[in-house]
Amino acid sequence: MPLPEISLAAAYRLRWQRRQLLWRAFRARHQLRRVTDHTAILAKDALIAITVLRNEATRIPFFLQFYRELGVDHFLIVDNGSDDGCAEYLATQPDVSLWQTGASYRDARFGLDWATWLQIRHGHRRWCLSVDTDELLVFGGDAQHGLRGLTHWLDRQGRVGFGALMLDLFPRGPLGKVGYSPGDDPRTVLPWFDPDPYRSTRQAPRGNLWVQGGTRERVFFVAEPQRAPTLNKIPLIKWDRRYAYTNSTHAGLPRWLNALYDGPGGGMPSGVLLHSKFLPEIAEKARIEKQRGQHFSQPHQFENYYDQLAAGPDLWHDKALRYVGPDQLEALGLARAPDWDAG
């Protein structure tokens, strides 16, 4: 699915947009207070994970374990006002550099301004993995090759990024009824997913992919599918300080970055971000986030979504599949493993 052609005027506007986003990130650095900083010891080829979080004490132990085992060397984390002990825990981790801020998450482009500054400052010419704490990246061959093997393969192929489909995992039965403790693998309590349908289009002028469908559309946005969450991401990029994400990691500038992923069923190598949003804490978090209004540009339009989450619905249906591994996802056309023998 090639990028659509655009006019010279549109290309000029996109260049200015990218410069404005970088300038926003540069200014946003003043909102960050350094807590622990171990970046001085980073090797030139260090694999970096970057995330912005708030009150993720339940998820963070397994998140760190999972990505350490995958091959991440160092974590750059912005804590946005946690009060559950998460920041204190992170400050004790030798492979975590931690910043804190009490500024508005929404006003910082949902944390992108802070993350972009850290990428400018520490990610230039390094492979950077930008993920939320409820996202676990899997891909064909990950157990054998890990993240280091993937980035080496991408380098040999002349590729600067790796796209992924965000795939919602859910339990069988009402949300909130399963048990979960910090350090548990969320895949054990959220083992189900929707294998289809997913649809993809390209949007002008940036040429970013727009993938929708899946669980949340089926349950929460069936009457208004155009409002369903965007499921495509480009989480892994060999960063350059001139790059910027424009909307979470769904799209980036320069616009050619958006050609790094062609969606489910596409021919490009890709992975899946297993999305563990629906842990038992989801009902309470939905009530809190509805009140805070920090996760959508027009929060009032999503009040019903939060209310439905807080009610703890049962997302399971008879067409759901139990997750068994990345090879299964490739067989379903949701991902495509790298050709490890090529190059």
- Calpha distance 246→155 (Å, rounded): 24
Band of the pLDDT at 34, cuts 50, 70, 90? very high
Dihedral sign from CA coordinates of 277, 278, 281, 283? positive
- Residue 2 belongs to a domain: no
- Calpha distance 250→246 (Å, rounded): 8
Q: Does residue 182 have a cis peptide bond before it, meaning omega lies within 30 degrees of 0?
A: no
- Calpha distance 144→146 (Å, rounded): 6
335 and 329 Cβ atoms separated by less than 8 Å: yes
**Both tokens of residue 241?**
């300080």
Q: Which letter does DSSP use for residue 301 in this model?
A: G
- Calpha distance 256→302 (Å, rounded): 32
Asked if the model's pLDDT at residue 293 lies above 60, the reply is no
Band of the pLDDT at 178, cuts 50, 70, 90? confident
Question: Among 2-6, 222-226, 314-318, which range has the highest average pLDDT?
Answer: 314-318
What pLDDT, in 10s, does the model give residues 226-258? Answer: 989 999 999 999 999 999 999 899 999 999 999
Band of the pLDDT at 282, cuts 50, 70, 90? confident
Nearest to 215 by CA among 261, 274, 258: 274
Total tally of structural domains belonging to the chain:
1
pLDDT at position 77 is 98
- Calpha distance 115→109 (Å, rounded): 10
By residue range, what is the domain housing residue 219? 8-331
Taking the chain, what is the end-to-end CA distance rounded to the nearest angstrom?
24
Amino acid at 73: D
- Residue 341 belongs to a domain: no
pLDDT at position 298 is 53
Asked if the model's pLDDT at residue 297 lies above 70, the reply is no
Band of the pLDDT at 288, cuts 50, 70, 90? low
- Residue 239 belongs to a domain: yes
Token pair 């926003």: residue: 24
Q: Where are the beta strands (DSSP E) in the chain?
A: 33-36, 48-53, 74-79, 96-100, 127-130, 135-138, 161-168, 192-193, 198-202, 209-213, 232-238, 244-247, 251-253, 270-275, 321-322
Dihedral sign from CA coordinates of 6, 11, 13, 17? positive
Amino acid at 97: S
Question: Cα-flanking dihedrals φ and ψ of residue 301, to 5°?
Answer: -75, -10
- Calpha distance 195→165 (Å, rounded): 12
Asked if the model's pLDDT at residue 1 lies above 70, the reply is no
Asked if the model's pLDDT at residue 309 lies above 90, the reply is no
Band of the pLDDT at 179, cuts 50, 70, 90? confident
What pLDDT, in 10s, does the model give residues 212-227? Answer: 999 999 999 998 899 8
- Residue 176 belongs to a domain: yes
Token pair 């499921």: residue: 231
- Residue 337 belongs to a domain: no
What pLDDT, in 10s, does the model give residues 50-90? Answer: 999 999 999 999 999 999 999 999 999 999 999 999 999 99
Amino acid at 79: D
Q: 166, exposed or middle or buried, with CB in 10 Å at 0-12, 13-18, 19+?
A: buried
Provide the β-strand partners of residue 212. 199
Hey, what's the torsion of the CAs at 125, 248, 267, 218, to 10 degrees? 160
Asked if the model's pLDDT at residue 321 lies above 70, the reply is yes
Is residue 64 within a helix (H) or strand (E), and if so which, with residue range? helix 60-70
- Calpha distance 246→267 (Å, rounded): 24
How much is the average pLDDT of 154-177? 95
